[in-house]
A = this chain, B = another copy of it.
């Protein structure tokens, strides 16, 4: 398609008429396609089915019966496996329940209820009329924003550049405003754009001056081993924080939700010895321990970090044709049009697309009315409000290739229609 700016207003109207005919044809197919959530496809899940086999042994190396009570912070073999995978000291890891989202919520709610490092509980600040604020690089992950909203933490957006959050803005904000207590980060293959943080950004996050003594980085490395097109290295934020004299600054989250089974996987939080001790203190009132059998199941299935990486290669082979399909369709139909721009992720679960300003909601609506469900426009922003109304998250993993092809044909059609409608309004 030639650049939209080269069209006369008559040509645009004619083009819109053509596109509307195609749209009606698409509607007539009565399709029901979903590109909304980052759910693994059945073929991906099948690669982990051996996790459902009979457990031949339930005794740990130290003799503990994994069927019985005991062990607050995770079985040693599980801490070792994921410690080696991520390059983290197992003593600085707590294995949580079935999902890292739960560990993130609990960690943040502990900070609200109890504070950290002797500082005031965050909910007291709020009750005293002093808001607690978090920086949210945007676009970002809607469930991070929901946690903040639920806990009454105000969200301040900062731009997410190609190498991470805009650190000039971040550094200025955190150095000036004591009420900014944290930042959400998805440092590898970010949701939705696939941004990977550069070493320089990691170093600055670890070293920057913060007005709040209890400033915390919520480092959600959800896609830490989820490379598709290219392996990307990530600088070690825990060691970097240590080196900069800010050892307690970071909580590092990870899970196997998109490695083994979502909702039946293993989640973990890693942090400084002081933070781990504090978290274990709160946890010891909350639980006797998480599901050790599921931890052992994962250890018996994966055995080594190398096997996890090999497993991720197989998953990448499942995902690559789907990402190819999305990116090829975008290239074919929208490249050079000036109607949209999009990310070219190296891994992760999403492609992020920006329409012309003011066209995201309309695009999602058009797609919905033609049977294609997308993530709600605005979901990638705090409070569901995208100020430019332009960002749309495409989740290519769950549909089949055939479904994806049909869905992308309809979606790109909708991007064009919404864009031209907007241009004709002016």
Given A68-B40, A113-B123, A99–B287 Cβ distance below 8 Å?
A: yes
The list of the 7 closest CB pairs from A to B, nearest first, reads A150-B285, A52-B55, A105-B286, A264-B293, A69-B262, A98-B291, A67-B261
| Residues of chain B lying within 8 A (CB to CB) of residue A85 | none
Q: A240-265: which residues lie under 8 A (CB-CB) from chain B?
A: 257, 261-264
| Complex CA–CA separation, A98 to B263 (angstroms) | 12
Are A262 and B288 within 8 A (Cβ)?
A: yes
| Complex CA–CA separation, A282 to B101 (angstroms) | 13
Partner of A263, one of B257, B285, B289: B289
Q: A192-214: which residues lie under 8 A (CB-CB) from chain B?
A: none
**A109 at the B interface (CB under 8 A):** yes
Are B45 and A290 within 8 A (Cβ)?
A: no
| Residues of chain B lying within 8 A (CB to CB) of residue A55 | 52
| Complex CA–CA separation, A67 to B217 (angstroms) | 31
**Chain B nearest Cβ from A250, distance in angstroms:** 21
A42's nearest neighbour on chain B, judged by CB, is B65
**A426 at the B interface (CB under 8 A):** no
Are B105 and A109 within 8 A (Cβ)?
A: no
| Residues of chain B lying within 8 A (CB to CB) of residue A288 | 99, 101, 143, 262-263
Q: A59-77: which residues lie under 8 A (CB-CB) from chain B?
A: 65-70
| Complex CA–CA separation, A397 to B44 (angstroms) | 43
Partner of A113, one of B58, B101, B102, B109: B109
| Complex CA–CA separation, A257 to B70 (angstroms) | 12
Q: A78-124: which residues lie under 8 A (CB-CB) from chain B?
A: 97-99, 101-102, 105-106, 109, 112-113, 121, 123-124
| Residues of chain B lying within 8 A (CB to CB) of residue A257 | 69
**A311 at the B interface (CB under 8 A):** no
A120's nearest neighbour on chain B, judged by CB, is B127
Are A286 and B106 within 8 A (Cβ)?
A: yes
**Chain B nearest Cβ from A300, distance in angstroms:** 11
Are A151 and B54 within 8 A (Cβ)?
A: no
Q: A256-290: which residues lie under 8 A (CB-CB) from chain B?
A: 257, 261-264, 282, 284-290
| Residues of chain B lying within 8 A (CB to CB) of residue A45 | 65, 67-68
Given A45-B67, A68-B45, A113-B113, A263–B286 Cβ distance below 8 Å?
A: no
| Residues of chain B lying within 8 A (CB to CB) of residue A147 | 285-286
**Chain B nearest Cβ from A38, distance in angstroms:** 8
Are B97 and A98 within 8 A (Cβ)?
A: yes
| Complex CA–CA separation, A97 to B52 (angstroms) | 19
**Chain B nearest Cβ from A121, distance in angstroms:** 8
**A149 at the B interface (CB under 8 A):** yes
**Chain B nearest Cβ from A395, distance in angstroms:** 11
| Complex CA–CA separation, A42 to B65 (angstroms) | 9
| Complex CA–CA separation, A113 to B105 (angstroms) | 13
**A239 at the B interface (CB under 8 A):** no
A287's nearest neighbour on chain B, judged by CB, is B102
**A168 at the B interface (CB under 8 A):** no
| Complex CA–CA separation, A51 to B106 (angstroms) | 29
**A53 at the B interface (CB under 8 A):** yes
